[in-house]
């Protein structure tokens, strides 16, 4: 991938160019439809999260090695789908095929009395209790990294404030 889209800067292989473009001035349709699609730049992560991406300490190494697990531990919802398991077990990167629809399972904002809170429910609880639940459910993850992620989310994620506001209003009724 050494040929850059002149519209958006995405990298391509030369053989991906549109048939009606030349090698001297290649045009591509799979990234931005020749400049018709313009995405805003990605937001820079909060400084503590950026440090986890860029650092070389044990926290950063754990974060990068277990990014999917840290993400799942801090997710608001879970994935709901019927998986086609005929593609599992092959070589190469892990992939899966979904049969039917893809959906998010949100559940109630209040856990059942006999269960620990999970997903969005964790964002309306005392942060220390939420961290305890995440740590207990994910013993292979570092508690200090879970705490860095949780604190960053509590400060910058607008959905966290929305969940707390909704629960407070519901409690008044």
Torsions phi, psi of 104, nearest 5?
-105, 135
Q: Which residues pair with 78 in a beta bridge?
A: 105
Question: Are 127 and 154 in contact, with CB atoms under 8 Å apart?
Answer: yes
The pLDDT value given to residue 148: 96
| CA nearest neighbour of 3 among 36, 19, 25 | 25
The pLDDT value given to residue 106: 67
Average pLDDT of 49-54? 96
Q: For 98-130, write each residue's pLDDT tens digit.
A: 667 766 666 677 778 888 877 777 777 678 888
Confidence of residue 53 (pLDDT cuts 50, 70, 90): very high
Give percent of the chain with pLDDT exceeding 90. Answer: 38
Question: Are 159 and 59 in contact, with CB atoms under 8 Å apart?
Answer: no
- pTM, entire model: 0.65
- For residues 167 and 60, which has the higher predicted lDDT (pLDDT)? 60
34: left (phi over 0), alpha (psi -120 to 50) or beta: left
- For residues 25 and 112, which has the higher predicted lDDT (pLDDT)? 25
Torsions phi, psi of 144, nearest 5?
-65, -35
- Angle (CA) 73-137-155 rounded to 5° is 35
């Amino acid at each position: 991938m050494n040929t850059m889209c002149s519209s958006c800067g995405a990298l391509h292989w030369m053989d991906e160019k549109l048939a009606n473009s030349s090698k001297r001035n290649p045009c591509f349709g799979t990234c931005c439809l020749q400049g018709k699609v313009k995405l805003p730049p990605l937001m820079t992560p909060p400084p503590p999260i950026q440090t986890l991406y860029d650092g070389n300490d044990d926290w950063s190494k754990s974060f990068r090695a277990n990014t999917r697990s840290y993400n799942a531990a801090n997710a608001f919802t879970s994935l709901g789908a019927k998986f086609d398991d005929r593609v599992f077990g092959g070589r190469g990167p892990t992939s899966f095929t979904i049969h039917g629809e893809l959906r998010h399972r949100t559940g109630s904002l209040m856990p059942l009395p006999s269960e620990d809170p999970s997903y969005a429910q964790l964002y309306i609880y005392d942060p220390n209790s939420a961290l305890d639940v995440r740590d207990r459910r994910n013993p292979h993850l570092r508690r200090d990294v879970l705490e860095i992620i949780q604190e960053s989310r509590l400060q910058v994620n607008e959905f966290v404030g929305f969940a707390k506001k909704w629960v407070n209003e519901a409690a008044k009724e």
